[in-house]
Structure 1
Amino acid sequence: MGRKKHHKSNTPASQSHPKQSPVPPPPLAPVNIDPGGQSISLPEESPAPPPTHSLPEPPLQLKPSKMPSAMVDTILVTESPVSAAVQALLRVIETYNGSTVNGLISELKSAANANNVVKQGTPVLTKSKLAVNSACAQFIRYATLTLSSIEAEDVSKCREQMMCEGLKYLKRCERSIEKISRWAVTLIFDGARILVHGDSFVVLETLRCVPKNIYFSVFIVLDNDKVATFFEDNYNIDVSVVRDAEVGTLMESMDLVLVGAEAVTKNGGIINRVGTLPLAICSREMNKPMYVLAESFKFSLLYPLNQEDLPREIREDPITNRIRVDYTQPKYITFLVTDRGLLTPTAVCDELIELYT
C-alpha cells in the first residue's frame, strides 16, 4: 500500500501533462495500480530509467521480539558441557586412524572415562560431571548399537555408522529441553502458585513457555534475586525470590513444586542442589505434588541408599568444601518429566535398561 500512495501523490499524470501538449508523458516504472496487486508495464520499445524523483521506500518496522524458545534451547544446550563432551567423542571417531573397531571403542571409553573433558579450555564444572559421565556412556551405547549389523570388517564403514548414530544422539540432547517443556506446561494451570528450588534452566525455560493467557505465581528458593530478571518479559508470571527458611510457611499455600536434577539415580531418586531433600519432605507432608524436570542424558547408574553413598567429589564443593548437593529418595517424587515422557520413579529403572543395554 506504501507504493500505491507514493504513486498517487508524486506522479499525478492528469495534472502534469495537459491534453493540448503533443509531447507524450515520460514513461514510468512498473507500479501496482489496483488492490488486486496486478502490475502494468510499458512496452519494451520504450524502456524507462528508474525515476530519481520518487520518494524512498519506507523502512521496514520490526517489533521487538524474543528468540523462539526452541532456538534458545538449541543455542544454550549446544554450549553446555554435555554437548561439548559428546562433540569431543564425535571428534575421536572422526580422527581415528587405527585399523580395528575394538581400538576405536577403546579410545572412546578412555575419552569418556576421563573426567577432564574440557569446553574452551575450561574443565567441566562439578555440577555437570554426573550429566557428562551419563551422556558419554549413553553415547557409546548408541554409537556402537548397530555395529553388529555390519558384516564387513571395514573400519571406515563402522566409523561412518558410528558418526551417524552419534549425531542423532547429539541432536536428541539438543532438543531435550524443548520436549520437556511440552510435557511440563500441561501441569501448570491458571492461577497456580508454584514453588521452584534453585535456578535450573530447564525449569525456568519451561515456565517461560507457558501460554500467555495463563497467569500464575512463581516462588523461587534462591540466595539472590538475579533470576527474577529472567522473567521480566513475561507479564503473565508473578515472580518472588524467597529464602529456604520460608519453605515450610509457604508450602501450605502452594499448588505444586518444580525442581531440576543434576542426576537421576537408578531407583528413581535424584541428586540435586542442597535443600531439595527438605523441600521434598515438606511437600509430601503437606500433600503437594513434586515434579522433577530432567533430561534423559542425566539418567545415571548410581544407586545411593543414603547421603553418605554420594561420591565426595560430587557431594562437596571443591573450593569451600561445603555440601552442595543432596540425594532425594523416589518416595518423595510424584513424577519425572523427561524428554522420554512423563515417568513415575519406578519406571526409571526400565528406561535405564533401554538406555544402557
Structure 2
Amino acid sequence: MSQMGQNSSQDIYCTFERLLEDEQLSPPLAAILALTELIVSSNAGTMFELVEALKAGAEVLKKRSSNPISLNAGCELFIAFVTLFPHESDSFSELKTELVHQGRRYAAEAISFRDKIAESTLGFIKDDSVILTHSYSRVVMKALLHAHSTKRISVYVTEARPRGLGLKTYEALTAAGIPCTVVLDSAVAYVMDQVDFVLVGSEAVVESGGLINAVGSNQIAIIAKATNKPFYALAESYKFHRLFPLSQYDLPTHNADILSLPSLPQRGSSANTTSSSPASRITDGLPSSKPTVPSAHPTMTAEQIARNPRVDYTRPDLISLVFSDVGTLTPEGVSQYLVGMFAG
C-alpha cells in the first residue's frame, strides 16, 4: 500500500469518531461511512488494491475500538458489498465514485430501518403492556415511542451498570409521558413476574441466531425463559454479523483481564506478616467499637470496572424472536438470512 493509503487508513478512526457525534448513527453505520470516505481518499487503481485498503481500514477501526463487535458487522457488510459489486463502469475511477454514492445512500436509508422495526414490533404490543428493557437502545426507543403514540404502555428499565445507560432511557421515556421505573440490575428476577415481555436492542446478532448486547442481557434472557416470558431482540440488518461464539469467552472483546482474580502475597511473606498488629489480631472477629457506615451510593473503582465485561452473549434458544427491517425472524431465520446475504 502506498504512503497515501497508509495515511488514509490511520485517519479512518478520526473520521469514525467524528461520525459518531451524530446521535442517529450507530457504530456499524459510522463504520460504513468511514470506509466510504476511505474510498474517496484512496489511490487504489484496481479492485484488489481497493479491497485491501478497506480491509486495512477495518483493521484499524477494530484495533482502536474497545468494543469492535458492532462496527465489525458494518465493515464486514460494506466490504462484501464492494467485493460483489458488478463492474459495469467504463473506468475504475467511475466505479469508485459509484461505490461512494452507494455507500452514502445506504447509510442514509438505513436510519429509517428503525421505523420499519418499530412498526413490526407494534403488532406484538397490546394495550396496557408492561415491558422490561435493558440499558439504552436507539431502536428500542423508537419502538417504545411508536407504541406509546397508539397504545397504553409502561416500562421497567434496568439501571445497566457500570455505564448506567438505563437512566438515559428512563429520562427519555418519562419526558415522552410513558410511565417508567428504573430497576436495579440485581432486581430483574424480582420484577419479571410483573412484565409481559422483554424488549432489548443489540450490538450484533450472530450467525447462530444468538445476541450480543450490553452486559446483563444474558441473565435477563435466562430469567425470562424460566418465567415463560417472551424475550424479543430488535436489530437492524446491518448488525447481522458472521460470528459464531459458543460461550462468553469466544467474544472478540474478551481478554485475560476480564473478571481475573488479583494476585495476592504468598503466605509467610513480609507483606502478609506486617499487615496486622498484635492488637488487631486480638480484636479480630469482634464487633468494632466504631462501626463503619457504608456509603449510601457505593461505587466501583475504575480498575474494578475495567475487569468487567461490557457486553455478553445470549444463546439463540433464549430468544423468542428477532425484529429486523428484513422481517420478524426466529433465531434460525437469522442464520439463514446471513448465509444468503453473504453468498451474493
TM-score, normalized by length of structure 2? Answer: 0.72
**Residues 212-263 of structure 1 deviation map (CA, whole Å, 9 limit, x = unaligned):** 341111011115544322123323x210001122222221221111111111
1:131 aligns with 2:70: yes
Contact 1:139 1:169 in 2 (8 A): no
1:230 aligns with 2:172: yes
- Amino acid aligned to 2:208: N
Identity of aligned residues (%): 33
Contact 2:69 2:253 in 1 (8 A): no
Contiguous gaps of at least 5 residues in structure 1: 1-73, 118-122
1:157 aligns with 2:94: yes
Corresponding position of 1:303: 244
User: Aligned partners of 1:95, 1:75: CA distance in 2, in Å?
Assistant: 22
Q: 1:109 aligns with which of 39, 43, 55?
A: 55
Contact 1:263 1:300 in 2 (8 A): yes
**How do residues 271-350 of structure 1 correspond to structure 2 at under 5 angstroms?**
271-313=212-254, 316=258, 320-350=306-336
Contact 2:209 2:316 in 1 (8 A): yes
Contact 1:269 1:327 in 2 (8 A): yes
Q: Against the structure 1 CA distance between its residues 230 and 107, is the aligned structure 2 distance closer, same or farther, given a 3 Å change threshold?
A: same
- Amino acid aligned to 1:262: E
Give 1:174 shift: 2.1
- Amino acid aligned to 2:75: C
Give 1:312 shift: 4.1
- Amino acid aligned to 1:343: L
TM-score, normalized by length of structure 1? Answer: 0.70
User: Aligned partners of 1:314, 1:138: CA distance in 2, in Å?
Assistant: 26
Contact 1:143 1:165 in 2 (8 A): no
User: Aligned partners of 1:320, 1:351: CA distance in 2, in Å?
Assistant: 35
User: Aligned partners of 1:258, 1:180: CA distance in 2, in Å?
Assistant: 12
- Amino acid aligned to 1:76: E
RCO comparison, higher one (Cα < 8 Å, 6+): 2
Contact 2:62 2:72 in 1 (8 A): no
Q: Secondary structure at the match of 2:306?
A: coil
User: Aligned partners of 1:81, 1:322: CA distance in 2, in Å?
Assistant: 21
Corresponding position of 1:202: 139
Q: 1:218 aligns with which of 155, 164, 182?
A: 155
User: Aligned partners of 1:328, 1:312: CA distance in 2, in Å?
Assistant: 15
Q: Against the structure 1 CA distance between its residues 143 and 99, is the aligned structure 2 distance closer, same or farther, given a 3 Å change threshold?
A: closer
Contact 1:108 1:140 in 2 (8 A): yes
Q: Against the structure 1 CA distance between its residues 282 and 176, is the aligned structure 2 distance closer, same or farther, given a 3 Å change threshold?
A: same
User: Aligned partners of 2:31, 2:89: CA distance in 1, in Å?
Assistant: 30
1:141 aligns with 2:64: no
Corresponding position of 2:206: 265
Q: Secondary structure at the match of 2:50?
A: helix
Corresponding position of 1:353: 339
Contiguous gaps of at least 5 residues in structure 2: 1-20, 260-302
Corresponding position of 1:98: 44
- Amino acid aligned to 1:131: S
Give 1:293 shift: 0.8
Corresponding position of 2:130: 193
In our comparison, the structure showing a higher alpha carbon Rg is 1
Higher alpha-carbon deviation: 137-146 or 307-316: 307-316
1:177 aligns with 2:138: no
Give 1:189 shift: 1.3
Contact 1:144 1:162 in 2 (8 A): no
User: Aligned partners of 1:105, 1:278: CA distance in 2, in Å?
Assistant: 40
Contact 1:143 1:166 in 2 (8 A): no
Give 1:111 shift: 1.0
Q: Secondary structure at the match of 1:210?
A: helix
Q: Against the structure 1 CA distance between its residues 291 and 356, is the aligned structure 2 distance closer, same or farther, given a 3 Å change threshold?
A: same
1:77 aligns with 2:18: no
Query: Superposition RMSD on alpha carbons, in Å?
Result: 2.5
